[in-house]
Chains A and B, each alone.
Chain A
Amino acid sequence: MSRPAARVLPGFNLTLGYTLFYLSIIVLVPLSAVFIKTASLGLSQFWDVVTTPRVLASYRLSFGASLLAAAINAVFGLMLAWVLVRYRFPGKKLIDALVDLPFALPTAVAGIALTALYAPNGWLGSLLAPLDIKIAFGPPGVLVALIFIGLPFVVRTVQPILEDLDTELEEASASLGAQRWQTFRHVILPILLPALLTGFALAFARAVGEYGSVIFIAGNIPMVSEITPLMIITKLEQYDYAGATAIAVVMLVFSFLLLLAINGLQAWTEKATGRNR
């Protein structure tokens, strides 16, 4: 910054200026509106809005189901990444490509498709109904939708680390007498851990804010299966802008904290594995 004349390449002021301008009008200024609008509410009013029983129930569902979905994805995502990296089997390339489906498929489409599958009269729902297991139109439906949208985050953060894994480490472990699962537990897992946690956090962050895929399958029963983003929509439909904004602030603050955590985790991944993503 101090010696702009020393810059060899052109376009610094133009590109940085444009970047900051565009970032401000699209992201920063509108986001600040949320906080300014909330300031019009008093602190006690704000507190009342964000802690009504119905909203509290929505936090429990949103955060609880998101955590559980991210945890399930951490386990099965790791397994899927492992299988895709380590083994040869027919159809592998196709499956590898389709793992990104939740990134590419519009959430509304995912929502109605999952509902069609897991509704009591659906393909899978009708198999589970005689066992008295109900998935769609209740909290388990929310979980299913959040598993769907979170899966690629875990697979895609763990996969490259697995691919880069040095075979010598496992060979060293085996030559020292370790059983295969001991090698996994004591040698491989510690190396994967930062990436696995990053994938978990990314899946969690995405799940907390998710709306489209959940809304169709959740059933949206007050106090039971309403997610927090739906509470914002509900308030908006009642023209309660201050209330909607207050809940949005809670979600935003949480997102920012999670974003910080994810940045920290990614730095850790890079340090631990010596690679740059």
Chain B
Amino acid sequence: MAGATSLHAAADPAVRFESRSATREAPWVKWTLIAVSLAFFALFLLLPLIAVFVEALRKGWDAYIAALVEPDALSAIRLTLLAAAISVPLNLSFGVAAAWAIAKFDFRGKHLLITLIDLPFSVSPVVAGLIYVLVFGAQGWFGPWLQAHDLKVIFAVPGIVLATVFVTFPFIARELIPLMQAQGKEEEEAAVVLGANGWQTFRYVTLPNIKWGLLYGVILCNARAMGEFGAVSVVSGHIRGLTNTLPLHVEILYNEYQFAAAFAVASLLALLALVTLAVKTWIEHQATQSGDASQ
């Protein structure tokens, strides 16, 4: 009966549909749909991924390694790591603070605030770069002041970091807000009633409940931070060895027709993407196991 069938459904939702005659299609429909979807998937997702690695190794392992250890590549790796190392913690602290305020308290304008937090997602990366040029560029609001004090933001590392922070701004917050809203505030209130202070409440009650959602947001935020191209491209100035991140380095090599080298560097980023997806899948698995659905 109901109890017996739902036991099966726990494993894979498909079982629920495939085991009932009224919710399954004829085999030819099923396999046609699978074939068409997988062809689409292969054409648009799988083949590009494979192409990166094949093209990267076109000139052999030696050329591949050489492209990665070349000084400009190494400095691009360093800058990419630096930009992520700054923007992820900044957006993490913001995400936690915003989710705490929004999920645990009621105040006017909450919906507007949530919409504003989502805003960077709907802004073109190019526009994201542009706004910092308008603020900190030579002709921008703070341009003359910065020049007078011999400080450089645009076409320098701070600009790259700022642009990265902007495009990754909502990642952690939008992961945590719905999760913490769904969890309510009863457990935190119980902790306070039992005498815990604010930090203890967060550390011992809230954090264990949101850890998978938090990690999920961090992973996605990090992937975007290391991979951002458009926004960073606008503010970087493309100075080799100085203001080049990995994606920008890929572009330069590619435009110089050093295809194998470009794909070698690109393969590094593709590996990062695969690791991100693997960790993400693992987190989703952990979250379902522990019963706190992070999505």
Residues B273 and A101 in contact, CB atoms below 8 Å apart? yes
Residues B101 and A212 in contact, CB atoms below 8 Å apart? no
B113 to chain A, nearest CB (A): 7
Would you give the 0/1 interface string for B115-137, flagging 1 where the beta carbon is closer than 8 Å to chain A? 11111101111110011111101
Known: A87-B33, A230-B126. 18 other contacts (CB 8 A): A9-B105, A9-B189, A10-B192, A18-B94, A19-B101, A34-B131, A82-B33, A88-B18, A101-B277, A104-B277, A106-B228, A112-B254, A117-B47, A124-B47, A212-B247, A248-B127, A255-B122, A262-B122
Chain A residue with the shortest CB-CB distance to B137 = A241
Contacts of B122 in A (CB 8 A): 205, 209, 255-256, 258-259, 262
CB < 8 Å neighbour of B125 from A16, A212, A236: A212
Chain A residue with the shortest CB-CB distance to B47 = A117
Q: Which of the segments B60-68, B144-152, B207-215, B261-269 contacts the partner chain? A: B261-269
CB < 8 Å neighbour of A106 from B229, B262, B280: B229
Would you give the 0/1 interface string for A6-34, flagging 1 where the beta carbon is closer than 8 Å to chain B? 01111110111011101100111111011
CB < 8 Å neighbour of B13 from A85, A102, A241: A85
CB < 8 Å neighbour of B135 from A30, A114, A117, A208: A30
Residues A100 and B280 in contact, CB atoms below 8 Å apart? yes
Contacts of B21 in A (CB 8 A): 174
Interface of B is mostly: helix
Q: How far is the CA of A259 from the CA of B185 in the complex (A)?
A: 29
Residue A163 at the B interface, CB < 8 A?
A: yes
A273 to chain B, nearest CB (A): 15
Contacts of A27 in B (CB 8 A): 116, 119-120, 166, 169
CB < 8 Å neighbour of B48 from A80, A89, A148, A160: A148
Q: How many residues on chain B are close to A (CB under 8 Å)? A: 114
Contacts of A1 in B (CB 8 A): 107-108
Would you give the 0/1 interface string for A225-266, flagging 1 where the beta carbon is closer than 8 Å to chain B? 000011011001000010011001001100110110011000
Would you give the 0/1 interface string for B31-75, flagging 1 where the beta carbon is closer than 8 Å to chain A? 001101110110111111101100100000000000000000000
Number of A-B pairs, beta carbon distance below 8 Å: 306
Residues B230 and A211 in contact, CB atoms below 8 Å apart? yes
Chain B residue with the shortest CB-CB distance to A109 = B266
Contacting A at CB under 8 A, from B223-261, are: 223-224, 226-230, 233-234, 246-248, 250-251, 254, 259
Residues A16 and B124 in contact, CB atoms below 8 Å apart? no
Residues B51 and A116 in contact, CB atoms below 8 Å apart? yes
Residues A112 and B266 in contact, CB atoms below 8 Å apart? yes
Residue A167 at the B interface, CB < 8 A?
A: yes
B158 to chain A, nearest CB (A): 13
CB < 8 Å neighbour of B46 from A76, A98, A107, A251: A98
Residue A223 at the B interface, CB < 8 A?
A: no
Residues A102 and B104 in contact, CB atoms below 8 Å apart? no
Chain A residue with the shortest CB-CB distance to B48 = A113
10 pairs from A and B in contact (CB 8 Å cutoff) = A26-B162, A34-B134, A37-B134, A93-B281, A98-B277, A104-B276, A106-B226, A107-B229, A113-B55, A255-B124
Residues A147 and B23 in contact, CB atoms below 8 Å apart? no
Residues A212 and B230 in contact, CB atoms below 8 Å apart? yes
Chain B residue with the shortest CB-CB distance to A81 = B37
Q: How far is the CA of A20 from the CA of B273 in the complex (A)?
A: 32
Contacts of B16 in A (CB 8 A): 167
A213 to chain B, nearest CB (A): 8
Contacts of A248 in B (CB 8 A): 124, 126-127, 130-131
CB < 8 Å neighbour of A31 from B131, B251, B277: B131
A30/B17 contact (C-beta < 8 A), A100-B280, A109-B269, A209-B126 known: no
Q: How far is the CA of A116 from the CA of B56 in the complex (A)?
A: 11
A107/B182 contact (C-beta < 8 A), A31-B131, A79-B37 known: no
Chain A residue with the shortest CB-CB distance to B94 = A22
Residues B266 and A108 in contact, CB atoms below 8 Å apart? yes
Residue A136 at the B interface, CB < 8 A?
A: no
Contacts of B137 in A (CB 8 A): 241
Contacts of A175 in B (CB 8 A): 22
A87/B125 contact (C-beta < 8 A), A30-B131, A167-B20, A174-B22 known: no
Q: How far is the CA of A147 from the CA of B131 in the complex (A)?
A: 27
Residue A203 at the B interface, CB < 8 A?
A: no
Q: How far is the CA of A7 from the CA of B107 in the complex (A)?
A: 11
A105/B127 contact (C-beta < 8 A), A83-B37, A171-B22 known: no
B4 to chain A, nearest CB (A): 15
Q: How far is the CA of A170 from the CA of B6 in the complex (A)?
A: 17
CB < 8 Å neighbour of A33 from B107, B131, B254: B131
Chain B residue with the shortest CB-CB distance to A259 = B122
Q: How far is the CA of A27 from the CA of B270 in the complex (A)?
A: 29
Contacts of A129 in B (CB 8 A): none
Q: How far is the CA of A9 from the CA of B118 in the complex (A)?
A: 26
Chain A residue with the shortest CB-CB distance to B136 = A30
Contacts of A258 in B (CB 8 A): 122
Residue A103 at the B interface, CB < 8 A?
A: yes
Contacts of A151 in B (CB 8 A): 44-45
Residues A106 and B269 in contact, CB atoms below 8 Å apart? yes
A161 to chain B, nearest CB (A): 12
Contacting A at CB under 8 A, from B68-126, are: 90, 93-94, 97-98, 100-102, 104-105, 107-108, 113, 115-120, 122-126
